Structure 1
Amino acid sequence: MESQKAMTFGGVLLMLLLTCATTTSQPTTAIDCATVTTLLSSCTTFITYGTPDPIPGSPCCDAMTSLNLAAYSTDSRRSICRCLMSLITTYNPNATAIATLPGFCGVTLGFTIDPNTDCNYISMSEN
């Protein structure tokens, strides 16, 4: 009887661990605009003046890499896109500079940073 209880408890514990592992490995919360803005703040000089060019390993490129890693789902890509489009509309930065950031940093966000980008059509299949 004791061994049967131990096996049942062990099975329940294993199921709980598997459930936790699968639910925590794929977060469902999209990135918020405050985070995107904070990350891009390290690129302010380049976005504003177009110089100096960011290079991989620089704080600006580290921020772009973080955005790229955060774009793990269609929803998160769309969220990042909407935040970037809002920043472009609000602050009217150097559109060419902001569009070239991913290329300078060697990342692909899965969409073009452009005022005409429709974030609703972004999916995970785009790279």
Structure 2
Amino acid sequence: MSGKKNVVVFVVVMVFSLFLTTMNAIQIDDITCSEALFSLIPCVPFLEGSNPPTPSPTCCSGANNLYQKANTTQIRRNICKCFKAASTKFGVNPDRAKQLPGLCSIPLSFPFDPKADCNTIP
């Protein structure tokens, strides 16, 4: 039970921290950085490298929804920058981040990598 409690505490702290750090953030067209990150909250256990070894259906649903909204180069670059900053703050496992699009059947044309150069994303 303490593992689930730690994940819940982590998610609450992450959302609160992101809310505070993005209150003055620019809007990513119709998607704020906080909204983009919120859509991937179900992915936290997978992205941090703990069990389960595959993302949950809820995680993939949120990731696919975000993928559908990221329909311009500028939105994709802004979301990349948002995730890049969040991944370093919250210890995202880079290997898991790279696996997420494939495991959720998201046809990205660029790697989902916390070390990616966001300015080169098409």
Provide TM-score, normalisation by structure 1.
Answer: 0.66
Residue 90 (structure 1) aligned with residue 89 (structure 2) = yes
Structure-2 separation of matches of 1:116 and 1:98: 10
Question: How many residue pairs were aligned?
Answer: 94
One-letter amino acid matched to 1:100:
Q
Per the TM alignment, residue 92 of structure 1 is displaced from its structure 2 partner at its CA by 2.0
> For the residues of structure 2 that align with 1:118 and 1:44, how far apart are their CA atoms?
22
Q: Distance in 1 between matches of 2:82 and 2:67?
A: 14
Q: Is the 8 A contact 2:46 2:55 kept in 1?
A: yes
Structure 1 regions of 5+ residues with no counterpart?
1-27
Aligned structure 1 segments of 4 or more residues deviating by more than 3 angstroms: none
C-alpha contact (below 8 Å) 2:55/2:104 kept by paired residues: yes
Moved more, 71-80 or 28-37: 28-37
User: 1:79 deviation in Å?
Assistant: 1.3
Pairs within 5 Å for 1:68-107: 68-107=67-106
Could you tell me which residue of structure 2 aligns to residue 48 of structure 1?
A: 48
Structure 2, unpaired ranges of 5+: 1-27
Question: What is the CA-CA distance between 1:97 and the residue it aligns to?
Answer: 0.9
- Residues 78 and 119 of structure 1 are in contact (CA less than 8 Å); yes or no, is this contact kept in structure 2? yes
C-alpha distance in 2 between matches for 1:96 and 1:116: 11
**TM-score scaled by structure 2?**
0.69
One-letter amino acid matched to 1:71: A
Bigger radius of gyration: 1
Identical counterparts, % of pairs: 33
